[in-house]
Amino acid sequence: MTGYEVKFNGKLIIYVIHWACNVRCYYCGIPVNVKTNHSQLKRFENGKYIGDMNFGEGNTYVLSGGEPLITPKISEFVSSIVRNKCRFSIYTNLSMDVSWLEKYSNNIDYIMASIIPQYDICLDSFIEKIEKLRENGIYVLTRLVATKERIGLVKKYSEIFSKKDIPFVAYPEYKYGGEPGVIAHYTDSEKKIIMENSNYIGKLNLQHHGIVGKCSECPAGIKSMQVNPAENISQCANCETVTGTLRKAIFFGTPNTCNECCTCDIHYFYGLNGMKVPLDDKSIEGYNNWIERNKLEGKWFR
């Protein structure tokens, strides 16, 4: 997978719009009763969130969910992002119409297209949408959550997408229920398959059995924040003050020690550029040294 980098001057705003989804992937960390509860979409129907999510010019939004493209007035929200001279990326299963995104090709950093189990049977419509987006100048990556049941599909998809020059990454399955989430148990041979087809954040998660960031060791920089479906903001305690119209800003932990928020933009943003993590040094110190080196070489946002 070739490297890919986007530079921006404002904040990185990771907006988990809601937890609702139009599919029921059995491995999803969102409980079925939550993601199938579409009543949570009603608060978007009047479009008020479009103004609430305006953080000024020059920012980059990463839109995810649930499935963000089932959000009422989502096209109007995207238009608002673009009008404010901001860029955006979307995490989607590509099951919805995406043709309307083609006119925003100059404003989209990437689309991360998840291969849901329905596509395991028939990839035609999935690939057709990707190729159409790419024809319009939109960078699309594909991702497979490699559950134990789907390990055999990793090589298949790797070969299919490689022939079409479409970036593909396999990602390990998380098992939720505690904090932090931990990686599902894999045999050594299964882990090897994922490692050979993963991006570096997937590799790190496999190596450390899940990662939790801390502000004192924050490798994510200081210009990121995450907005959850309750419209609360979480950010590093070292970040600049958040400005906006949301109801409240919160910290995980105390204002000086943050235990959960610092790897979010690594996961959602820099985890896509295909850089290889050094596998000979699995220590936190080695990981942070590698990040700092890439910052200095200009491969990482500064």
For the stretch 247-259, pLDDT in tens is 333 322 223 333 3
pLDDT at 270: 41
Q: What is the mean pLDDT of residues 171-195?
A: 75
Among the ranges given (100-109, 263-272, 286-295), the one the predictor scored with the smallest mean pLDDT: 263-272
User: Residue 7's pLDDT band (boundaries 50, 70, 90)?
Assistant: low
Q: Residue 50 phi/psi, 5° resolution?
A: -60, -40
Q: How far, in Å, CA of 300 to CA of 302, rounded?
A: 6
User: Residue 227's pLDDT band (boundaries 50, 70, 90)?
Assistant: confident
99: pLDDT strictly greater than 50: yes
Alpha helices in the chain (DSSP H): 32-35, 48-52, 74-83, 117-121, 124-135, 151-163, 188-197, 200-208, 264-268, 284-296
Q: Mean of the per-residue pLDDT values for the chain?
A: 74
Q: How far, in Å, CA of 235 to CA of 18, rounded?
A: 18
237: pLDDT strictly greater than 90: no
CB atoms < 10 A from the CB of 268, how many? 21
User: Residue 302's pLDDT band (boundaries 50, 70, 90)?
Assistant: very low
CB 259, CB 212: distance < 8 Å:
yes
Taking only the tens place, the pLDDT of each residue in 43-52 is: 999 999 998 8
Q: Pick the residue with more confidence: 122 or 268? A: 122
Beta bridge partners of 137: none
CATH of domain 12-296: 3.20.20
pLDDT at 300: 43
Predicted model pTM? 0.78
pLDDT at 113: 93
User: Residue 208's pLDDT band (boundaries 50, 70, 90)?
Assistant: low
